Structure 1
Amino acid sequence: MIRMSDSLASLARSSRLASYISMIGIRYLTTRAASSLQEIIKASSYIGRDDEFANDIDWNNLGFGLTPTDYMYIMKCGRDDEFKQGQLNRYGNIELSPSAGVLNYGQGLFEGTKAYRGEDKRLFLFRPQQNAIRMQIGAQRMCMPSPSTEQFVDALKKTVLANRRWIPPPGKGSLYVRPLLIGSGPILGLAPASEYTFLVFASPVGNYFKDGTAPLNLYVEDEFHRSTRGGAGDVKSITNYAPVLKSLSRARNRGFSDVLYLDSVHKRYIEEVSSCNVFILKRNVLSTPATNGTILEGITRNSIIEIARDLAFQVEERPIPVEELLDADEVFCTGTAVGIAPVGSITYKGNRIEYKTSNQLVCLRLYSRLVGIQRGIIEDKMGWMIEID
C-alpha cells in the first residue's frame, strides 16, 4: 500500500476528499503511484465548488466542438470476462495496438448523453440508464462484453464530477458526455477482439448546428443509404457514421444543413437525418418513422414522444412516405446533440418544400418542456433526471 505523507493524510481526513476517495474506491488508490494520488486530490478540489468554472471559455458562444477537459474514465476486460472497477485518468491519448479490433474491423460503439447544471446549482444527467441499456443491446449485436447499467451510470457520474468546472452555467449549454466501448485487443483474422475498453470523456457544448437555432434546410438523399435491413442501423455502432460523410459533405457544399435518408428497399420512406431522428406534424398528429431495424431508437426521440402524448398530441410510429412532407405543418429533428431542431425547408428531386417558422411552433413547445425538465425548472414527473451527488 502507498504510504501517505502527513500532509496527504491530513487532506484525506477532510470530508470532501474522504467522500471522493470513498466514491472511486480504495482499490484504485492502493494500486496507483503517488503521482496519480496527486491527480485525484486535484480532481477532488472541483467537488462541491459551484462557483468555479473553467477559465478562458466564452460560455455565451459555445458551439459543438471538442474542448478537452481534465479527466476521463477507463475500464477494461477480456473477451470472456466481465468489467470490473475502472479509474479516472487525466484526459489524453490512449495506446492501441495497430491490430486492435476497433481499428481493423470497426468493433466499437459509442453513446452520447449530457450533464446539466440546474438553476439551484445541482448537477444532473439525463436518462443515462437508457444509454446503458442501448449500449448493452449494441454490444450483443457487435459480439462485445458491456458494462452493467450500474457500472455505466457510475462511470458517467465520476467523469462529470471530476470535470464539473467545465459544466456551463444554467442556460448556457451542457457537458456532452461520450461513453465509448471498443475492441482494444489485437486481432488479425476476422473475430472478436481479445480485450475491450470502456472509456468516458466529456466536453462542454452549445448548439450542434453552426447556425444555432436557425431552421434547418435538409436535402433528401436518394442515391446513398444510411443503413439497410439486417445491418446495424438500429445500434450505435461507430461503423454507421463514416458512410454518411460523403452525402453530408456534398449537401453542405450546396448550402444544406444536413441530409434526410430514405429506406434502402423502396427508396420511398423517410428514415433519419445523418445523426438524429425526424418527426412530422400535421394538425394534432405527430408522426415519426418506426424503428424497424434500420433506425436508431433515440433517447431524445422517445422523450419527445412521451412529452407529446402528455400534452394530448396523437403520436404515431409508422412508415412515412416522402410525399407526406409536402403537406406537413411542421418537420423537426431530435437527438442528444441537437436537442430539437426545427426544419425550414426540405429539397427532394429538385423541389423545395418550405415550412412555417415562428416562435409558436409546436416543436419549440415540446423543446421548452424538455429543457425545463433537464434544467430542473419543470417538475420531473417522468423520473428522467439523475442527480449527481
Structure 2
Amino acid sequence: MNKNEKINWDELGFDYIKTDYRYISTWKDGNWNEGTLTKDNMITISESSTALHYGQQCFEGLKAYRTKDGTIQLFRPNRNASRMNDSCDKLLMPEIPNDKFIDACMQVVKANERFVPPYGTGGTLYIRPFIIGVGDNIGVKPAPEYIFSVFCLPVGPYFKGGLTPVNFMISDYDRAAPYGTGQQKAGGNYAASLQAHKIASDRGFADCIFLDPSTHTKIDEAGAANFFGITKDNKFVTPISSSILPSITKYSLLELAKDYLHLETVEEDVLLDDLDRFKEAGACGTAAVITPIGGIEYKDKLHVFHSETEVGPITKKLYETLVGIQFGDIEGPEGWIYKVN
C-alpha cells in the first residue's frame, strides 16, 4: 500500500492488506538467527519443503489495539507464544523462545504503526506469526531448516455486521481426528474445514458446527472458533475435547465470566440433544472476538437460542468487558496487557 493511500477504517473487512514491514528469522544447524524486519512480503523456498508436501507448519493470530490516549497494546501475547510452542512440539519443529516471539510481534507493530486503526473505529491490527518447514527434503521426516515470520494487517470484524447474531448448521464432516492435531493451530485443520464451510455458506449460514469426531454427538468447534453457551441457570459452559484448539479468547472469557460477571464456569461435554439447556450461545476467537449464535440447524430444524436478531444480555456484557480490556477502557487481570513502547 502506498504511503499516500488512505484507509477507510470504517469499511475494513478481514482481507489481506500489504503493510510496510514484516519480521523473518531462520533456523539452521540447531539455532534461530537474530531475525530482521523486511519490506519484502514474498518468501522463496525449496520446492521440496516439508511445509508444501507434508504440512509441517503452524501459525498464530493475535491483535494490537489502539487505546483512547493513542497507546498501542497487545492482548496476552505470551499465551500465543506458548500455544505456538505446543504446536511446534507436536509437529516436531523447533520452539520459538517466548521472548523472541513477543519481541518479533512488538517490532512488527511498531514498524507498521500507521496501520493500527484509530480508537473508536472498532478496527484492530491483526498479527499473524507462522513457522514453516523448508530446505531440501523429500522424505517424510522433519525439515532441515525452518522460517519463523510475523506479518500484520488492519482488520475489521471477521463476520460482517459486527455483534449481531448469525446462524450455524451442523456439519457432517470432521475438522480433525481424535487425538490428532485438533489442539494445534496447524494449517491442515483449516484445510479440512474448507469444504464444510463452503457448504454452510452456500446454504446461507455463517459457518458450520463441527462435532466430536468419535461419536458425532457433541459440539467441538464453531467453524474456526470455539463454542460457548449460557445455561438457563446462568452457567458459562464451553466444550472440552482432545480435538478443540485451546482458544485464548475462550480461556479469557472463562476468567471474565467467573471474576467479572460472577457466573459459574464449566468445561464439559456439550451434547447436541441437550441444546435446550442454553438460553444464549456464541462463537469466540481472536478473529471473531465474540459472535452471537442466533440458532443452530440440527435435524432439519433451526434451534434458536436467545434471538435471531438480538444479542443476549450476558453475551453482550461478556463482549463489552473483553473488548473494553483489549482497548484499554477497563482494567484487566494482571499480566493480560503488553504495552507497545
Bin of the TM-score, shorter chain as denominator length: over 0.9
CA contact (8 A) 2:64 2:126 kept: yes
Counterpart position of 2:335: 383
Deviations 1:105-129 (A, max 9, x none): 1100000000011111111011001
Q: Secondary structure at the match of 2:117?
A: coil
Counterpart position of 1:66: 16
- What CA distance in whole angstroms lies between the structure 2 residues aligned with 1:262 and 1:359? 24
Counterpart position of 1:148: 97
Q: Residue 239 of structure 2 is aligned with which of 289, 292, 301? A: 289
Are 2:309 and 1:328 equivalent residues in the alignment? no
Counterpart position of 2:56: 107
Shift of 1:359: 4.9
Counterpart position of 1:201: 151
CA contact (8 A) 2:132 2:148 kept: yes
Q: Taking every aligned residue pair, what percent have the same amino acid on both sides?
A: 38
CA contact (8 A) 1:277 1:333 kept: yes
Larger radius of gyration: 1
1:343 alignment partner AA: I
Q: CA RMSD in A?
A: 1.3
Q: Residue 189 of structure 1 is aligned with which of 126, 129, 139? A: 139
Are 2:322 and 1:370 equivalent residues in the alignment? yes
The more displaced of 180-189 and 160-169 is 180-189
Deviations 1:261-319 (A, max 9, x none): 111111101100121000011131111001x3211100000000000001210011011
1:297 alignment partner AA: P
Q: Secondary structure at the match of 1:102?
A: helix
Q: Secondary structure at the match of 2:242?
A: coil
Counterpart position of 2:37: 88
- What CA distance in whole angstroms lies between the structure 1 residues aligned with 2:40 and 2:8? 21
CA contact (8 A) 1:106 1:239 kept: yes
Shift of 1:248: 0.5
Q: Secondary structure at the match of 2:138?
A: coil
CA contact (8 A) 1:278 1:332 kept: yes
Shift of 1:326: 2.9
- What CA distance in whole angstroms lies between the structure 1 residues aligned with 2:87 and 2:55? 13
1:188 alignment partner AA: I
Counterpart position of 1:241: 190
Q: Secondary structure at the match of 1:267?
A: coil
- What CA distance in whole angstroms lies between the structure 2 residues aligned with 1:201 and 1:284? 40
Deviations 1:35-54 (A, max 9, x none): xxxxxxxxxxxxxxxxxx97
Q: Secondary structure at the match of 1:241?
A: helix
Counterpart position of 2:181: 232
Counterpart position of 1:16: none
Where does structure 1 lack aligned partners over 5 or more consecutive residues?
1-52
Are 2:47 and 1:98 equivalent residues in the alignment? yes
CA contact (8 A) 2:65 2:326 kept: yes
- What CA distance in whole angstroms lies between the structure 1 residues aligned with 2:322 and 2:5? 29
- What CA distance in whole angstroms lies between the structure 1 residues aligned with 2:298 and 2:267? 22
Deviations 1:79-115 (A, max 9, x none): x512231000004211011111100111000000000
Deviations 1:178-209 (A, max 9, x none): 00011022210101011000000001001001
Are 2:76 and 1:127 equivalent residues in the alignment? yes
* TM-score computed with the length of structure 1 as normaliser: 0.84
Q: Which has the higher helix share?
A: 1
Shift of 1:355: 2.2
* TM-score computed with the length of structure 2 as normaliser: 0.95
CA contact (8 A) 2:164 2:311 kept: no
